[in-house]
Structure formats: structure tokens, C-alpha cells
Copies of this chain bind each other. A is one copy, B any other.
């Protein structure tokens, strides 16, 4: 496994995983199930791990365990019981030392009972960002791994980190005073997705893509995905090859490509708001909040100058697809009139079904010399029928235990990302950019399609990708 080449120390010793916000939805639906699956596959083991739930609610250990059990239906009883026995519950408030002292005591007792000399403490903040600073201060004050011992303290926080450049920098500064960068794991659960992780492998482990992946050959790239993940996926598509797979090298390159993004031009933005959005009584009648955005990023470097990255995200659309679509340029000196067939495209579909395919032009089978579009296809579901594609959360928690920060967002990366979108956000707030109404269940405002077309995207009409199916 390549992980072993990353200079990550192979560690042993007792591991305490603390889930803060243990009685909340995120914890129950995502965090504990992910921990269970890691347990089930042997990545964390009874001998060396304890799990601590912490929340304000008054709950017994068993109370928490039963709640969790409700989200693990179908799990074989024997393993499940063993897993649940690893969990303890501690109750306390988030801004008061008392609870955290109790928590530290529980962890310390467990550590003392262990023969291992190395104490590892992982804090998972399944909590709203507003309480991050106070909770982190409590952890820093009461719950750090004792310096007398080898081991570490790591803190996982969830997106969103701020709402614009200033608020993000402020939060970063607050956490930065409490923890070193290598102790902080800013989770972005999309980075844990199988095909997202595959992106770098595809780009850098295949000679095939080496001469193709540049402005000479690519006309435009679309990234259609949940708003929160747009820039992360953009980075993976656009970044230069890192010196090595070391997390810092990968993150260096992400920062670099983010810094190369030109300021967004207002004429390359389309915002939308679906009809009915303001029917929600909590939404003000004059709300300009977009529920749809299409934004063109321009990267000022040797590889990408002139190639628009069309980023799209939206709610209440006809399709919930998430994909990266790389559209190649036309063939120069075309002798096949293949332009009308549509362009070559390389598509990585993240949702609804993970798949990837290469759209190309082939001879239409038959006696006539005519061409048509077909594709080279790798559909994950079909190819990998018996392989369990892991959930993003499992992977990211495991990465944290291992100290691999590759799939987490670094402070300067966060800053560079906010620098791109913040002027846009302020223009929305100031009403300089207006959201265009669109029908729920539509493709979004037609102005978005017009924008894509204007910057070069050519839609292939009459072509529908039919994923291969197993009868």
C-alpha cells in the first residue's frame, strides 16, 4: 500500500476517540456508524481503542449505545455488541471546565489501564462551528495528551469554516492559537469519496492523461457538485503534480492553484433562486439568497490560461447529478466533419452512480462510412460488484488516526479558497448581483446554459450516456 510510503509513523498504543456532540444527528448518523465500520474491518480494535461520547444530555452509557444501535440495523449482533462496549458516555456543557475535567479523567483512566506507553487522543467535533472556539479552548486546557507521554492530540472539525474571508480567518486565528496546524483536521467529507480520491490517481498515474491535461487540448471543464465542495474538486482537477504523495506536498499544490485563480468577473456569474424559495416563512420576502450558482474560474498559469472552469451548484434542479466533465477541443484539420458529432469528453460521475467514461467518436457500424459518438466506460458499480466502496467518513477518521492530512483542508488553502469567493459573496449581500428566478425541477436559469456556451462549452445533442447494466 502506498500509505506506507508516506513516511507516516506506524503507531501503536491506546487510542481515545472522543465524539463531541454525541447525542446529535451528525454523530448518530455519520460519526458512530463510520467508527463501527472501521471497527468491523479491523482498522480499530477492541484492545487499543476507547470511544467517548460527550454531550449536554443526561444519558447513560447504555442509553447512548442504544441510540447508536438504531442506526446500525442489519449489523451482525456479535460484532456490534463488542463495538458498543467500547463506548462510554460523559455529559457536560461545551463552555465550562467541569465537564471537560470529567472527560479528561475518563480518558486518563482508560490510558492508565492500558500497558501501552503511547496515548493518542482524537477529538471529533460533531458540533456547530459557533462553539468551535470555546470547545477547542476547553480541550486545550483540560484534555491534551500529557506531555510526559508520547502520542498526540488531534482535533477534527467540520465544514463550514466561516462564511467569508474575514470570518474564516478569524476562526483560523482562534484555533491557531490553541493548536498547531498538524493537530487540526478540517474535514471536507467530499474529499473522502472514492472517485474524488481517484482523481489524482487518474491524472498522475496514467501516461494517457499526461499530454492531454492542458490548455492545448482541453477546451473547458465543468464541475457540478454541492456548493461546499466545488473548490476542493476544482483543486484536484486543476492542480500541478506534487513532488510526492506526502500530504504537505499535495496541499502545497492545492494552495498554489487557488492562488493562481483570477478574480471572478461579474459577467461570468449566474445566480438563481427557485420559485417558492421565499414561501418558507423563515425566508425574508426580499431575500436575494441564491439557491443556484454558475461561476467561471480562470486560472492564470501555463497549463490553464484560456480554459474556463465552469463551477455549478444548485438546489431543486431536475437532476441531482454531481460530475466533473472535461471537454476536449475540436480536432484541428478535421477530415471527418466530426465536429457535428460532438466533442471528446472525459466524465467522472460522482453521483447518482459512481462511474467514469470517455466519450469519443467511432465509425458507426455498418456499410456507410459515418461516424457517431460512443464511449469507453468504467462503471464502478459494474466493474466492482463485490467491492465495498467505503464511506467518506470512515476514510477520513482513519486518515486522522494515521496522521494523513492529505484529505483535510489546510489553513492557507482555506484562506486562498475564501479569497476567491468572498468578493462574490459580498456583491450578493450588497445586492450588486441578483439571483434570477427559476422553476423548481428545471435545469436552473437558462442564463447559466448561455454562460456555459459563451465560454466555449458545446453540448452534444442527441447523445445520452447509458450506463451499462447487469441484467
Contacts and interface: CB of A to CB of B under 8 A. Distances in A.
Interface of A: 1-3, 5, 41, 43, 194, 197-198, 201-202, 204-208, 210-212, 215-217, 240-245, 252, 256, 259-260, 299-306, 328-338, 341, 343-344, 356-358, 360-363, 365-371, 374-378, 380, 382-384, 387-390, 394-395, 398, 468, 470-471
Contact of A210 (B205, B245, B302): B302
12 contacts: A1-B369, A2-B369, A194-B365, A198-B362, A201-B336, A205-B341, A210-B302, A240-B240, A243-B260, A252-B256, A305-B333, A365-B388
B395 A367 contact: yes
A166 to B, nearest CB: 20
Contacts of A375: 376, 378
Contacts of A380: 365
The SS class assigned to the A binding surface is loop
A201 B367 contact: no
Given A1-B369, A303-B332, A366-B389, 10 more contacts: A3-B369, A41-B367, A201-B363, A205-B331, A207-B330, A207-B343, A210-B331, A243-B259, A243-B301, A244-B335
Given A332-B305, A367-B398, A338 B384 contact: no
Nearest to A206: B360
Contacts of A468: 382, 468
A211 B201 contact: no
Nearest to A389: B365
A334 B194 contact: no
Contact of A331 (B206, B252, B337, B383): B206
A357 B3 CA distance: 30
Nearest to A407: B369
B360 A5 contact: no
Nearest to A356: B376
Contacts of A260: 243, 333
Contacts of A210: 217, 302, 331-332
Contacts of A211: 211-212, 216-217
Most buried by B among A210, A375, A380: A210
Contacts of A305: 332-333
A6 to B, nearest CB: 8
Nearest to A346: B208
A259 to B, nearest CB: 5
Contacts of A371: 2, 201, 205
A375 B363 CA distance: 21
A400 to B, nearest CB: 13
Contacts of A208: 212, 328, 344, 358, 360
A236 to B, nearest CB: 12
Contacts of A333: 241, 260, 299-305
Given A204-B335, A240-B240, A194 B363 contact: yes
Contacts of A338: 205-206
Q: Sorted from nearest, which 8 A-B pairs have the closest CB atoms?
A: A376-B376, A305-B332, A301-B333, A471-B471, A205-B336, A205-B338, A211-B211, A207-B328
B390 A367 contact: yes
A38 to B, nearest CB: 8
Nearest to A376: B376
A245 B207 contact: no
A455 B371 CA distance: 32
A5 B337 contact: yes
A254 B426 CA distance: 37
Nearest to A387: B365
Nearest to A336: B205
Given A208-B344, A367-B395, A368-B3, A335 B241 contact: yes
Most buried by B among A204, A328, A344, A369: A369
Given A241-B301, A301-B332, A302-B332, A206 B337 contact: no
A122 B332 CA distance: 38
Contacts of A331: 204-207, 210, 302
Contacts of A243: 256, 259-260, 301, 335
B301 A207 contact: no
A468 B383 CA distance: 9
B357 A376 contact: yes
Contacts of A365: 194, 380, 384, 387-390
